[in-house]
Structure 1
Amino acid sequence: MTTEESILNKIQILITNHFDTPQKAFEFFDEDSDRKLSKKEIVKLLKDAEINGFLRGIVSTKLVEGYDKNGDELIDWEEFKAAIAKIKK
């Protein structure tokens, strides 16, 4: 399993075990209720998914780079759904 697969797997486990739906997870981690996840909010999600502290900053940056389609350096609900869809594949 690659590092990316391992990280996505941990995120899936977190969402599956602690939230009724991916949208509930998104809303939980969207601390400022702006309907977008900032890098800080993504780091919190990664921490809760038990991603190593050293990797959190790197992974949050890579997640934003990989899934931020509109270039605002945030992950909105549609972009989050795309990431979740990749996890489920």
Structure 2
Amino acid sequence: MLSKETVLNKIQILITNHFSTPEKAFEFFDKDGNGKLSKSEIKDLLHEAEISGFIRGLVSTKLIEGYDKDGDKRISWEEFKLAFDEISTD
């Protein structure tokens, strides 16, 4: 199993290499435009970050558990930004 640090590092690389800002990355993966990333949208992000399909579901669940502050089982822009800020300072 990949460590949290490895997963977050892969996400950071994806965002910094393919998007001009973290907000652009969030908008790209927010396919339905509702301002929140669902589990399936997070799985798409993880796929693009080259996280193995075998563990993508588990990792997406853990990311939601770790960063979903309002308990709606989705990641809002504010929650995404907090996560990205945490990644960027490591």
Q: Structure 1 length as normaliser, TM-score?
A: 0.96
CA distance in 2, matches of 1:69, 1:10: 22
The letter of the residue matching 1:75 is I
Partner residue in 1 for 2:70: 70
Letter of the 1:68 counterpart: D
Instruction: For residue 3 of structure 1, report the CA deviation from its aligned partner.
Output: 1.0
> Whole-Å Cα distance in 1 between the matches of residues 67 and 36 of structure 2?
12
Task: Indicate whether 1:44 and 2:75 are aligned.
Answer: no
**Residue identity in the other structure for 1:28:** F
Q: In structure 1, what is the equivalent of residue 83 of structure 2?
A: 83
Q: Distance between the aligned counterparts of 1:82 and 1:56, measured in 2?
A: 21
RMSD in angstroms over aligned alpha carbons? 0.8
Divergent runs of 4+, >4 A: none
Aligned AA (1:4): K
Matched with 1:17 is 17
Inter-partner Cα distance in structure 2 for 1:3 and 1:69: 21
Aligned partner of 1:3 in structure 2 is 3
Cα shift readout 1:26-84 (whole Å, capped 9, x = no counterpart): 00000000000000000000000000111110010000000000010000000000110
Query: What letter corresponds to residue 42 of structure 1 in structure 2?
Result: I
C-alpha distance in structure 2 between counterparts of 1:70 and 1:4, whole Å: 21
Identity %: 66
